[in-house]
Amino acid sequence: MERVAIEKKVLSENDRLAAALRERFTDHGTLVLNLISSPGSGKTSLLERTLAALPGDLTAGVLTGDIQTDNDARRLARYGFPVQQITTAGACHLDARMIHRALAAWPEARFDILFIENVGNLVCPTSYDLGEECKVVILSVTEGEDKPLKYPGAFFKSRLMILNKTDLLPYVPFDIEEARANAKRINPEIEIIETSCARGLGLETWLAWLRIRREAARRRSDGPNGDFDLHGLLAST
Amino acid sequence: MHEMGIASSVLDAVRIESARFPGARAKRVGLRIGEWAGVDIESLRFCLEALAARTDLSDLGIEIDYCERKNRCPACEFEFAVRDYEIACPHCGSGDTSAVSGTELDIAYVELED
């Protein structure tokens, strides 16, 4: 019997496709965000608010994943940006191949921002790289402040947590400081923005975050000389 | 939930690897799965067995090395298992430690027989 060391990622084929996507996005200066949450936390509502308020000088595209129905694509198409529904027919997450296939329908597209709304699920989507710049996890106040501890992967791998439905705080036993502390315990680097998509609260902070990240992506595509001063940009926002 | 897809990727990799050694048969595969990989090991084992049954890999042995979440302290170089998300260094108390294992989802090796 001979043992052959392989030492490769189980999802190396997905990772290979994701790397090709990332190269293309970097080349185009496209900011790509992979939105992850439980079903019903407000991913689609956040995107609706975002598309409605997106400054006119930014172009965006949306890929939205669900197991069935094109309800989300129809909701999002009203805002005048290209939207595609990816129905996974059972799969609990999006993978890089699905993104490749979807983007083949937009061969000429060079978006400033591409939003990928993953299937509602806090577990499986965290394992699949989609070539994104970063993952954004959305947690709503009706879910319980211990979700980061119960589903650490999603919070560990996200750069930003959006705490949504803050308008419901007076009606639910949700300790927002505890939720923030729990997320920081899993990922000390995670940034946090509070929003209420129903009431339109906190969206200006989210839009500023998007603009800063988009600017960083654009400068990276200009090459290594495009030195990026995040603090300067933050101060000017 | 996605263990079936992961199992299928593992078996694909085993077949690709064995094909590099004509005449050899894969007898065992070794995996490393991290505590935070989001994979249920029993479910993965079940999926691997179900997918391999009545195929060329029906007698494939499966060895899974479970990797607990560990952090390392850059100040004193101490490495420790993270329990209850407590990431402060138990040796020197520094809170500035970083993860060194726990998210593995790797194929470590395949054992082949002529």
pLDDT band at B22 (very low <50, low <70, confident <90, very high): very high
pLDDT at A172: 97
Residues of A in contact with B12 (CB under 8 A): 13
Chain B contact for A7, CB < 8 A?
yes
Q: How far is CA A192 from CA A6, A64, A121, A177, B19, in A?
A: 39, 23, 20, 11, 48
Spell out the domains of chain A, with CATH numbers in brackets. 12-236 (3.40.50.300)
Angle formed by the axes of helices A203-221 and A12-28, to 10°?
A: 90
Chain A interface includes B105 (CB < 8 A): yes
CB contact under 8 A, B36 and A152: yes
DSSP state of A40: T
SS3 for A72?
helix
For residue A217, what are its two tokens?
Answer: 């992506």
Q: Is the Cβ pair A1, B37 closer than 8 Å?
A: no
Residue of A2, A8, A10, A123 to mutate, interface with B, max B Cβ within 10 Å: A10
CB contact under 8 A, B39 and A127: yes
Q: Which residue of chain A comes nearest to B110, CA vs CA? A: A4
Question: What ipTM was assigned to the predicted interfaces of this complex?
Answer: 0.79
Residue A231 touches chain B, beta carbons under 8 Å: no
Mean pLDDT of B33-58: 94
Question: Which domains does chain B carry?
Answer: 3-68+102-113 (3.30.2320.50)
B2 neighbors A127 (Cβ within 8 angstroms): yes
d(CA A87, CA B96): 42
Sequential pLDDT tens for chain A (237 residues) = 789 998 889 999 899 999 999 999 999 999 999 999 999 999 999 999 999 999 999 999 999 999 999 999 999 999 999 999 999 988 889 999 999 999 999 999 999 999 999 999 999 999 999 999 999 999 999 999 999 999 999 999 999 999 999 999 999 999 999 999 999 999 999 999 999 999 999 999 999 999 999 999 999 887 654 445 555 555 554
Q: Which H or E element spans position B100?
A: strand B98-101
How much of chain B, in percent, has pLDDT values that exceed 70?
A: 99
Interface size between A and B, measured as CB pairs under 8 A: 88
The identity of residue B81, as a single letter, is A
pTM: 0.87
